[in-house]
Amino acid sequence: MRFSTMDYFVKETYKSIRRNGFMSFASISTVAVSLLVLGMFLMIFLNTNNLAQYLESQVQVSVYMQDSATAKELASVKDKLTKMPGVVKVTQVSKQQALERFKKRLGDQQQLLSSLGKENPFPNSFEIQVDSPERIKVLTPQIGQLPKVETAKFGQEVVEHLFQLTKILRFGGIILVVFLAMATLFIISNTIRLTVFARRKEVIIMKYVGATDWFIRWPFLLEGMTLGFCGAVVASLFINSIYSGLLERIHATLAFLPLLPTYPLLLYVDVFLLVAGTGIGALGSYISLRKFLQV
Amino acid sequence: MLIMSDVSKVYPGGAMALQDVNVHIEPGEFVFVVGPSGAGKSTFIKMLFREVLPTTGSIFVNGVDILSLTPKEIPFLRRQLGIIFQDYRLLPDRTVFENVAFAMQVIEAPHRKIKRQVMNVLDLVGLRHRANAYPNELSGGEQQRIAIARAIVNDPVFVIADEPTGNLDPETSWDIMDIFKEINATGTTIVMATHDKEVVDAMGKRVIAIEKGRIVRDEKEGVYGYEI
């Protein structure tokens, strides 16, 4: 393709978008809203998935000891735990260590500690890492039977619920994506149809002077792609600021929630939205041109 | 060279537009196609640039069987033809220059060549000074001259005109005919459907008369032959 031709296409596209100012605006807005919903959904999905994976990797049993347990009894329990089949690692957490951990987690809200007074409410405990999630179900009740053990807990249920949730999200997501994509496609192809209609005389003359179908198609395709791309940019900007803002707020209050950091997540989501928006724009134009070009 | 042999056209619904048409047009000829309204002139003209396909028969343009062209090849046939209509078909939102340049942009001619060539043809039709005007600022005759400029800007082998003076007064029609004569003098073949009796009679060119879908007359230096 010649440079002068590309130049011509770009000018035509620009003129056309301006001429259909209102419809162009409406298309960009529709694309933006659809992609915004799509993007938000994607963020929720990716985060839930990440959370489930994170929790699963933490297949550990927490064993809380009674306060009456002596150092000797603690050592004996630790010994027994270490010898159990499937146990990879046993970490002893003293009352003092548990308190320290809690202090760290509180961050700048240390004043909450003062209400505790001198009392340390945390029990002695063991954290046991096991080689597989299945093993946990068998081990946990056994551990509960050991002397001076208050309770033995594991987070498996939470993990299972989360995986179920991601499954539902994935299924609902696919339906939502298809629905949104069709709506966007419809809007863009309608806009381009109006453009084509407004320029039908021009298209007919182009055919008479020997323009190839692709020469006629390009400006319209570019128009659709531009509308899709602009919509995607708007959606991306919203998503970026919403997620960054959300992340800040959540870090302040629910610090332990393992949310995905903005980079590279936002980069991926933005690229996805831009490609999706542009692609939908091109497809929408192509659809509305198909019928029209048969002169 | 343009050859039609045994061409017939039946429109869907059974209307017989053309029947057993045989025509042979040599390079450089100036041919009028005349006949009453609805006789098949338009169908005849439209077949030349493959807007209408015949039901039977064959059409050759410069040795190419245009009926065997694929949709992708049609634009390249049309680049050898300059097509002119009764209603000019200019783009109202473009200047005279842009309207003519358009035909060259479509075939991806280089910028510099476009500028030079457009000015040349505007000179030929005598409207160089209106290059920046818009079509609605021009008279009908001037608009048709722009359409002619657009048709010849790519140096076509054939110029095909469908009633080019149909909307113009006699005096203006003569100006237009002078331009066609000039184009023809450079060796371009011209095929023109017309109702303009005076013009046909005065020009003394080849005349093909079509009536009820058949060629009833084909004379080297013919006359219009119908009473208006």
Identify all chain B residues contacting A208, using CB atoms and an 8 Å cutoff.
49, 78, 83, 89
At A166 the pLDDT is 76
A14–B contact, CB cutoff 8 A: no
Q: How far, in Å, CA of A56 to CA of A156, rounded?
A: 8
Is B72 within 8 Å of A4 when comparing Cβ atoms?
no
As a whole number, the mean pLDDT across chain B is 92
pLDDT for res A51: 77
Residue B227: pLDDT over 70: no
Quote the minimal CA–CA distance from B223 to chain A in Å. 30
Helix ranges, B17-60 (H): 41-48
Q: What is the pLDDT of residue B131?
A: 95
- Report CB contact under 8 Å: A215, B108: yes
pLDDT in tens, B60-113: 998 899 999 998 999 999 999 999 999 999 988 899 999 999 899 988 888 889
Tell me what pLDDT residue A41 has.
83
ipTM score of complex: 0.86
Q: Is A292 on the interface with B (CB under 8 A)?
A: no
B94 burial (CB, 10 Å; 0-12 / 13-18 / 19+) is middle
What is residue B163's predicted lDDT score, i.e. its pLDDT?
92
* Identity of the residue numbered B202: A
pLDDT band at B47 (very low <50, low <70, confident <90, very high): very high
User: Block means of pLDDT (10 residues each) for chain A, length 295 residues?
Assistant: 80 83 85 87 82 71 85 86 84 86 75 74 85 74 84 72 77 81 81 80 87 89 92 94 87 74 86 92 85 65
Model pLDDT for residues B123-173, shown as the tens digit of each residue: 999 999 999 999 999 999 999 999 999 999 999 999 999 999 998 999 999
Q: Look at B89 and A205 and tell me if their CB atoms are within 8 Å.
A: yes
Is B71 in contact with A213 (Cβ distance < 8 A)?
yes
The Cβ of residue A245 has, within 10 Å, a number of other Cβ atoms equal to 10
Query: Which pLDDT does position B181 carry in this prediction?
Result: 95
For A107-163, give the DSSP string: TT-THHHHTTTT---PPPEEEEEES-HHHHHHHHHHHHTSTTEEEEEE-HHHHHHHH
Chains A, B: CB pairs < 8 Å: 56
As a whole number of angstroms, the distance between CA A57 and CA A132 comes to 9
How far CA B168 is from CA of B82, B126, B146, B164, B182, in Å, comes to 20, 17, 14, 8, 19
Joined tokens for residue A97: 């260590």
pLDDT of residue A56: 67
A196 exposure class (CB count in 10 Å sphere: 0-12, 13-18, 19+) = buried
CB contact under 8 A, A210 and B102: no
* Strand-pair category, B206-211 with B158-162: unpaired
Distances (CA, A) of B65 to A111, B57, B58, B77: 94, 11, 7, 10
- Min Cα separation A209/chain B (Å): 6
The helix (run of H) or strand (run of E) holding residue B23 is: strand B16-25
Residue A119 is predicted with a pLDDT of: 78
- Helix A213-253 to helix A200-208 angle (10° resolution) is 140
Residues A125 and A65: beta-carbon distance below 8 Å? yes
Both structure tokens of A156: 């498996």
Whether residue B228 is predicted with pLDDT greater than 60 in this model: the reply is: no
Find tokens 């001037």 and name the residue. Answer: B142
Provide, as residue numbers in chain A, all residues whose Cβ is less than 8 Å from the Cβ of B154: 209-210
> Do the chains contact at B72 and A213, CB–CB below 8 Å?
yes
| pLDDT at site B55 | 93
More confident residue, B227 or A275: A275
Query: A246 to chain B nearest CA, in Å?
Result: 50
* 0.80 surpassed by pTM: no
Domains belonging to chain A, first-starting first, are 3-55+159-292 (no CATH), 60-131 (3.30.70.3040)
pLDDT of res. A145: 84
